[in-house]
């Protein structure tokens, strides 16, 4: 199975967002990765429901929505209504994580949990069998274009081992600083999905860059 690619819309040209949505539609990408930031959990603010709904209207591929926000539980239904197929919350933002995961599934979405760079993989052991996706942050969340944290490759391997040990079907996604130099190591360690933002949108040919990542 080839790796799945989810270009991060956070890195697109917001003045030409429909053009970039069409580019992803016509590329080898598998998902749209949508980062939602509240300026509280992370020191940045991204787009909200109106922009997400506009993307969903034109997108022909599923929306992989990554919530970098406090109190995600109160918005679960709204994200479903805005078009999310996968909804990923942060371990660090959910004091009642199992309940949050169940609420996401009850709303009809696939449930994911993200880990910040400093958060231990084994903290997911009690919920890994409930997850559809586990996301390793390979940069500190909040901004695009950051340098990849090399220890993330080891964390992916740890997560892969945990998934195998517990018989989980969760996919492993990696987000932050992913490029042609580290993609092969991440896939070898067990990554199933790669989020790529700046690497795709700052390249001369984003569609060719996506295809090259798919062939890694």
* pLDDT (average), residues 100-118: 98
What residues act catalytically? 35, 175
How far apart, in whole angstroms, are the C-alpha atoms of residue 114 and residue 137? 7
pLDDT at 117 over 90: yes
Contact (Cβ atoms closer than 8 angstroms) between residue 176 and residue 194: no
pTM of the complete model: 0.96
> How confident is the model at residue 35, as a pLDDT?
95
Q: Pseudo-torsion of CA 2, 144, 85, 114, nearest 10°?
A: 90
Query: Which range (46-55, 59-68, 159-168, 169-178) has the least confidence?
Result: 46-55
> Residue 141: is its pLDDT beyond 70?
yes
Segment holding 161, helix H or strand E: helix 151-166
Residue with tokens 């990696």: 174
**Stretch 14-30: mean pLDDT:** 95
pLDDT confidence tier of residue 59, bands split at 50, 70 and 90:
very high
Strand order in the sheet with 133-137: 4-7, 193-196, 171-175, 133-137, 110-115, 84-90, 63-68, 32-37
Question: What architecture (CATH level 2) is domain 4-214?
Answer: Alpha-Beta Barrel (3.20)
Average pLDDT over residues 143-167: 93
Mean pLDDT of 207-212: 98
Q: Tell me what the mean pLDDT of segment 115-141 comes to.
A: 97
Alpha-helical runs (H) found in 12-139: 17-25, 49-58, 76-81, 97-106
**Could you tell me what percent of the chain has a pLDDT over 90?**
92
Residue 3, pLDDT above cutoff 70: yes
Q: pLDDT at position 14, please?
A: 87
Checking if the pLDDT of 144 tops 80, the result is: no
pLDDT band at 18 (very low <50, low <70, confident <90, very high): very high
Tokens representing 48 are 């909200």
**Whether the predicted pLDDT of 39 surpasses 80:** yes
Q: Which two tokens stand for residue 186?
A: 């991440």
pLDDT of residue 47: 86
**Percent of the chain's residues with pLDDT above 70:** 98
pLDDT given for residue 91 in this prediction? 98
| E strand map for 62-164 | 63-68, 84-90, 110-115, 133-137
φ, ψ (nearest 5 deg) of residue 34: -115, 115
Structural domain boundaries of the chain? 4-214
pLDDT reading at 146 higher than 90: no
Average confidence score pLDDT of the chain = 96
């Amino acid at each position: 199975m080839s790796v799945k690619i989810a270009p991060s819309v956070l890195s697109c040209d917001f003045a030409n967002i429909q053009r970039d949505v069409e580019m992803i539609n016509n590329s080898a990408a598998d998902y749209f990765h949508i980062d939602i930031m509240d300026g509280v959990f992370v020191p940045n603010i991204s787009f909200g429901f109106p922009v997400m709904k506009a993307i969903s209207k034109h997108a022909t591929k599923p929306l992989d929505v990554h919530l970098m926000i406090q109190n995600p539980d109160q918005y679960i239904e709204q994200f479903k209504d805005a078009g999310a197929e996968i909804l990923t919350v942060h371990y660090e933002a959910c004091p009642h994580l199992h309940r949050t995961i169940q609420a996401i599934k009850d709303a009809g979405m696939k449930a994911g949990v993200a880990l910040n760079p400093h958060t231990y993989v084994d903290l997911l052991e009690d919920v890994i069998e409930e997850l559809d996706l586990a996301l390793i942050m390979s940069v500190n969340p909040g901004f695009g274009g950051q340098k990849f944290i090399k220890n993330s490759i080891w964390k992916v391997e740890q997560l892969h081992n945990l998934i195998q040990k517990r018989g989980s079907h969760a996919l492993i996604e990696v987000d932050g600083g992913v490029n042609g130099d580290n993609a092969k190591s991440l896939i070898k360690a067990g990554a199933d999905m790669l989020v790529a933002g700046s690497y795709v949108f700052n390249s001369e040919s984003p569609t060719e860059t996506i295809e090259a990542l798919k062939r890694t």
